[in-house]
Amino acid sequence: MGTEQGMEYEAPAHEVVVKSFWMDRHEVTVAEFGAFVSATGYQTDAETLGWSGAFNPKTKRWEKTKGADWRHPEGPGSYTAENEPVCQISWNDAAAYAKWAGKRLPTEAEWEYAARGGLVQAKYSWGNDLRPNGKPVANWWQGRFPNQDSGEDGFKGRAPVESFAPNGYGLYEMTGNVWEWCADWYADDYYQRSSENDPQGADNGSERAIRGGSWMCAENFCTNYRVAARSHATPDSGLNNLGFRCVRDK
């Protein structure tokens, strides 16, 4: 887990053991989250607040967007397909869905183990070449962010789940598309004191870990499509490039 070839908070590379678990083969979709809302009447944090954060490709800026929520990720009038990963979902929302579904959110250790797909210390979930055979194999931003997105991978923005080949464990879009919430409280220095056995993250904190990067990661910005990359957000955060997937114990 981790890397010596990245940011300080991604180091050191260290061995950990995780128990066996099942993981969703793809990110939770709009349709799946909609079934949860229909069954429970749940209201997301973004809906309660009346706004959420959204990147606006026209202004090339993040903006506080009134009316942005899981049904309308970029605000009123915006659209998302039912087979796209649901976004504008806070950690609180994701945890509520997972509990309803009889599952839970993955730890950072479980997420990284799954994302590696059996490869040892590879840079990406498919190997060490960002563009195998000269082509992108995940949904990330091709071009110079934020000014130009060529859409070389076939998408400008979110892609339907299972749009790209799975990794070695049969998991889709562990790289890019939308960031994914993990169960852990986030701490920059957690790897300095991490347990070797089934690490659960920091004991407390103000932000939760997110992993995997998104459609907004580019070669000149973010580069969090690397499998060891880590980031974080407050538990009530919703963004139009942030979603989740679940796990359950064997």
The three-point CA angle 108-112-114 to 5° equals 120
Instruction: Report how far residue 91's alpha carbon sits from residue 45's, in angstroms, rounded to the nearest whole number.
Output: 9
Q: 35, 41, 183: which is closest to 104 by C-alpha?
A: 183
Confidence bin at 222 (pLDDT 50/70/90): confident
Closest C-alpha among 39, 24, 93 to residue 247:
24
- Mean pLDDT along residues 60-65: 96
85 forms bridges with which residues in the sheet? 29
Mean pLDDT for 51-74 is: 96
Question: How do beta strands 179-185 and 242-243 pair?
Answer: parallel
Domain count, the chain: 1
Domain extent at residue 9: 1-250
pLDDT band at 152 (very low <50, low <70, confident <90, very high): very high
Could you please report the per-residue DSSP string of 135-165?
S--SB---SSTTT----TTS-SS---TT-S-
CATH number for position 36: 3.90.1580.10
At residue 57, does pLDDT exceed 90?
Answer: no
What is the rounded distance in angstroms from the CA atom of residue 70 to the CA atom of residue 80?
8
